Amino acid sequence: MRGPHNIIRLIRTGATLERTGAMRVIMDAFEVGPLLRGVVRGVVWPFKWLGYKGDVTMPPAPRALTALGPAYIKFGQVLSTRPDVVGNEMATQLRVLQDKLPPFSLAEARAEVRRELGVEVEDVFSSFSDPVAAASLAQVHKATLAATGEDVAVKILRPGIERAFRRDIDAFYFAARFVEVLSPASRRLKPMDVITHFEGVVMGELDLRLESSAAAEFAANTENDAGFHVPRIRWDLSGRRVMTLDWAEGIGAGDIDALDAAGLDRKAIADRVLTLFLNHALRDGFFHGDMHQGNLKIRADGTIIAYDFGIMGRIDSYTRRVYAEILFGFIRQDYQRVAEVHFEAGYVPADKDVDEFARALRAVGEPIFGMDASRISMARLLSYLFEVTERFGMETRTELILLQRTMVVVEGVARTLDPNMNIWQSAKPVVTDYVSKSIGPRALLDDLRRTAIILARFGPQLPRLAEEALIRLNNPPPPPRPQRRIARISWAALGATIVGLLWLAESIL
C-alpha cells in the first residue's frame, strides 16, 4: 500500500490547497516569506487541475481539508483551537470542522443501527432525529428511549470511513518515509513513529466499543470532580459502529455569544478547563485526548460536560512525575532543575551540556512570565522550542505526543474563553499539589508501601527463589578468568537484594 502511487495523493493535497484558495490563506496565517511563498506556489500551480473542488460555499481552508478527507479534517480541528497561531479569522473558519460537517442521510443512519444492533430504530426509540452534529468520523442523533422516555445521543460511524481513513494514513506513511530519506536531520523526530502512533489512536476511535469503555473509565475517575460531568453509556444499545449515551444539554464551549448571554463566567470556565485537564493527566494518568470546543458543552450552572471519548491518553506514573516536575520547574522559573530533569529522564543525550541546556530553556520560559496571553506569540515560542530540541539532539517522545498535542488544544480552548489567561498561574496550584504528593517523603513512603504489597503477592515463591539463587551462588558456571571476580560480586549482590527485600516486606507489613 505504501508505494509510489501515494505521490499522486500528496500532489493532489497541494493541488487542492491551491485550487480552493487555501494555500494563500494558510501561508498568510503562518506569515510565510515572499521567497518561500513563490517557490511553493510555483511547484504546486501546474498541478492545480488535479485538486479537489470541494464545497464552494465553505471558506477556503475548511473547504480544502473537508475535500481531502478525515485525517486532514483532524488536523484542521487542532488548528481551530489556536487563534494565536493561525489568527482569529482562520480559527473561526476551521471551527466548522469540529461538528458541523455535511451529514450522511437518515436512511443510512437507520440502516447502520439495524446492522450493528440487530434492532429496528422504531422498536427501541420513540423518536430519532435528523443529525444534530456531524464530525469527521461520525455523526450524532438525538433520540428518546421508548421504554423510559429518557433522551439519549446515538453516535454512528460514517459508512466506509475505515477505508477512507486508511487511504489517508497510507499517504502519510509514504510522506514520512520520503522526508526521512531526503532529510536525515528529521530522523530524530521519528516521523514514522509519529504516524504509527497517530494511526493507532485514530483506528481506536473507529471502534465505538473502545470509546464506550473509555467513557466508563473516565466517568469513574472523575465522578468527584466538581463542575465536570461525563454522560452515562447505554451498553445494551452500543456496539462497534454505534454508541448510545445519555443526552448532554448545554451551550457549546465555542459559542462565546451564547455563553455571555447566559451570564456565565468565561474566565472561571477557562480556568476550570485547564485545571481539570491537568488533574486528569497528572492525578489519574488518563485524560481526554480531544478536548476541543466541539467536544465540550457548558451547563447553565457552569458545569463542563465532556463527550466524544474516541481519543483518550494514558501515561504511567513515572512519566507523570517527570512531566509535573518539568512544569513545576517552569512555574518556579528554576530552569536548571528543568534541564536536570530532562537529562535524568533521558530526554536529552548525556553528552550534552546541562548548563547550556538550562540557558536555552530560560530563553523559552522567561518571555512567558509577567505577560498577558495576548502578548505571547505561541507560534514563535513553538518555533524556538523546535530549534532548542534540534540543537540538543532531543528525539520525539512518541508516548508524549498525545499529551503535548492535547495540552496545546486545551490551552487554545481556555484562551478562546479568556484571551488574557495566564496558563502558568492557573496551572500552578494543580502542579504544586501533585508534586507535593508525588515527590518527597510522603511519596517515598507510598512507593515503599506499594512495593511491599507486590512482594507480598510473591511471598509463597520467595523460598524457592532464594533456594535457586543460593544453589547458583554455590555452583556458578565457570566464567572466563577476567570475569570471575565480577561474577562473585554479582551473586553476592543478588543475595543481598533478596535479604533486603524480605526485611523491607516484614518491616512495612
Residue 14: its pLDDT value, please?
Answer: 82
Cα atoms found within 13 Å of the Cα of residue 55, Cβ hemisphere only: 14
Residue 226: its pLDDT value, please?
Answer: 92
Residues with catalytic roles: 290
DSSP state string for 29-73: HTT--HHHHHHHHHHHGGGGGGS----TTS-HHHHHHHHH-HHHH
Range picked from 150-154, 183-187, 250-254, 381-385 for highest mean pLDDT: 150-154
Q: How far apart are CA 32 and CA 254, in angstroms?
A: 28
Beta bridge partners of 228: 304
Grade residue 231 by pLDDT with cuts at 50, 70 and 90: very high
Query: pTM for the whole thing?
Result: 0.71
Cα atoms found within 13 Å of the Cα of residue 469, Cβ hemisphere only: 17
Q: What is the average pLDDT across 147-174?
A: 88
Grade residue 228 by pLDDT with cuts at 50, 70 and 90: very high
Within 8 A by CB and 6+ apart from 429, the residues are 275
Q: Of 43, 51, 56, give the one whose Cα is nearest residue 68.
A: 51
Residue 223: its pLDDT value, please?
Answer: 94
Convert the pLDDT of each residue in 268-310 to its tens digit: 999 999 999 989 998 999 999 888 888 899 999 999 999 889 8
Grade residue 31 by pLDDT with cuts at 50, 70 and 90: low
Residue 112: its pLDDT value, please?
Answer: 94
Convert the pLDDT of each residue in 455-492 to its tens digit: 677 667 767 777 777 787 777 766 655 545 444 544 44
Residue 500: its pLDDT value, please?
Answer: 47
How far CA 95 is from CA of 74, 77, 151, in Å, comes to 11, 7, 27
Residue 30: its pLDDT value, please?
Answer: 59
- The mean pLDDT value of the chain amounts to 79
Residue 153: its pLDDT value, please?
Answer: 96
CB 283 within 8 A of CB 431: no
Q: What is the average pLDDT across 164-170?
A: 81
Convert the pLDDT of each residue in 122-145 to its tens digit: 999 999 999 998 888 889 999 999
Question: Does pLDDT of 169 surpass 70?
Answer: yes
Pairing of strands 228-229, 304-306: parallel
Grade residue 325 by pLDDT with cuts at 50, 70 and 90: confident
Which of 225-234, 343-352, 475-484, 494-503 has the least mean pLDDT? Answer: 494-503
Higher pLDDT, 2 or 153: 153
% of residues, the chain, pLDDT over 70: 76
Residue 5 burial (CB < 10 Å; 0-12/13-18/19+)? exposed
CB 167 within 8 A of CB 178: no
Grade residue 29 by pLDDT with cuts at 50, 70 and 90: low
Question: Does pLDDT of 66 surpass 80?
Answer: yes
- Residue 229: φ, ψ to 5°: -145, 140
Question: Does pLDDT of 104 surpass 80?
Answer: yes
Residue 461 sits at the vertex; the CA angle it makes with 457 and 464, to the nearest 5 degrees, is: 165
Question: Does pLDDT of 386 surpass 60?
Answer: no
